[in-house]
Amino acid sequence: MFPKPIEKSSRQWQIGYQVLLPFAMLLWLAPLIAVALFSIRPDADFSTGNYWGIPSSFEFFTNYGQVINSAMPRYILNSFMITLPTMVGAVALSCMTGFALGVYKFRGNLLIFFMFIAGNFIPFQILMVPVRDLTLDMGLYNTKTGLVLFHIAFQTGFCTLFMRNFIRALPFELIEAARVEGIAEWRIFWYVVLPLMRPAIAALCVLIFTFIWNDYFWAIVLTTGENAQPVTAGITSFNAQFRAMYHLMSAGSLIAALPPVIIFFLLQRHFIAGLTLGAVK
């Protein structure tokens, strides 16, 4: 099942592997390299068809300068103001739902749990029209609050699944021991369970951060203006009426991609843990 470590294969295989690897990586990274290259090209290169050659002039400072002087910082700020509250809200709620569903045995426990999960099985595209109408009726259309509330509601399903399973795997004896001591239930949650959930919370935070940061669909459905739109949707504002400004969009995308990348490297351990936590019990 698992791939055999390359050191254990024959010499020819090893050489073949080492020769092929750089090419495979180049191929794999080609779109990203293209974006990076595009971001330092002058506009004229796109009209002369110079997509892959040497840029006819080096426009790193011009392009990135233009990006920084545009509405981009505003959009990035919006992204943070949408992503961070969503992350906190969804994780906080799911800690509590996960605790309730994982610790207490009551009638309908499984049913409620399934309802949380069921949300994940609905293709979110079919929610587009009702959710838009709902936010409009609530006066939350084209606001950051609207987007945050929707994201929290929608992400809590997945987070609850994650948290509930994690709490289930904790040694139940700890909770029983605390109960024997006569500690209030909310104190058990706060002082016993929550500290044990730290790795799960960290992992979930990283996951949710990247999910929400990269969300494009809801950003264009629920927001329209500079005042609320996150960077994923705002990036097209570089386009002129008739022309796509590939160089500026590339530069903008690279800047927009930085926060999740930074977060990933800072919390890499948790990220991988998060992906495997639910899988291996």
Partner 1 sequence: MRSMLKASVAALATVVALTGPASAELTGDLRINLDTSNPAPRATMEAMIARFQAANPALNITTTVIDREAYKTQIRNFLSADAPDVLTWYAANRMRPYVEAGLLEDVSDMWADGTTIANELASTKGAMTIDGKQWGVPYTYYQWGIYYRKDIYEELGLSEPANFDEMLSNCEAMIASGRKCYTIGTKWLWTASGWFDYLNMRTHGFDFHMSMARGEVEWTDPRVRETFENWGKLVRMGAFVDDHQNKDWQQSLPFLVNGEAGAILKGNFAVAPLRDAGLTDDQLDFHQFPMITEGVAMAEDAPTDTFHIAAGAQNKDNARAFLAFVASAAEQTEINNGSNLGQLPVNATSSIDDDKFLKEGFAMLSSNSPGGVAQFFDRDFPAEMAKAAMEGMQEFMVFPDNLDEILERLEEVRQDVY
Q: How far is the CB of 114 from partner 1 (least distance, A)?
A: 36
Phi, psi (degrees; rounded to nearest 5) at 230: -80, 175
What is the C-alpha separation between 233 and 221, in angstroms, rounded?
A: 10
For partner 1, the closer CB: 50 or 165: 50
Q: How far is the CB of 229 from partner 1 (least distance, A)?
A: 8
Q: How far is the CB of 31 from partner 1 (least distance, A)?
A: 16
Inter-axis angle of helices 268-277 and 198-213, to 10 degrees? 100
Is residue 46 near partner 1 by the rule CB under 8 A? yes
Is residue 139 near partner 1 by the rule CB under 8 A? no
* 10 CB-near residues (< 8 Å, 6+ apart): none
Phi, psi (degrees; rounded to nearest 5) at 101: -75, -25
| Residue of the chain from 5, 49, 171, 195 that contacts partner 1 (CB under 8 A) | 49
Is residue 19 near partner 1 by the rule CB under 8 A? no
Instruction: Estimate the share of the chain in helix, then strand, then coil, as percent rounded to the nearest 5.
Output: 75, 0, 25
- DSSP letter, residue 235: G
Give the binding range for partner 1 (CB under 8 A) out of 17-25, 45-53, 169-177, 192-200: 45-53
What is the C-alpha separation between 47 and 45, in angstroms, rounded?
A: 5
Give the binding range for partner 1 (CB under 8 A) out of 31-39, 44-52, 170-178, 269-277: 44-52
Site for partner 1, residues 215 to 244, rule: CB under 8 A: 220, 224-225, 229, 236-237, 239-244
Residues lying near partner 1 in the complex (CB under 8 A): 43-44, 46-50, 70, 136, 220, 224-225, 229, 236-237, 239-244
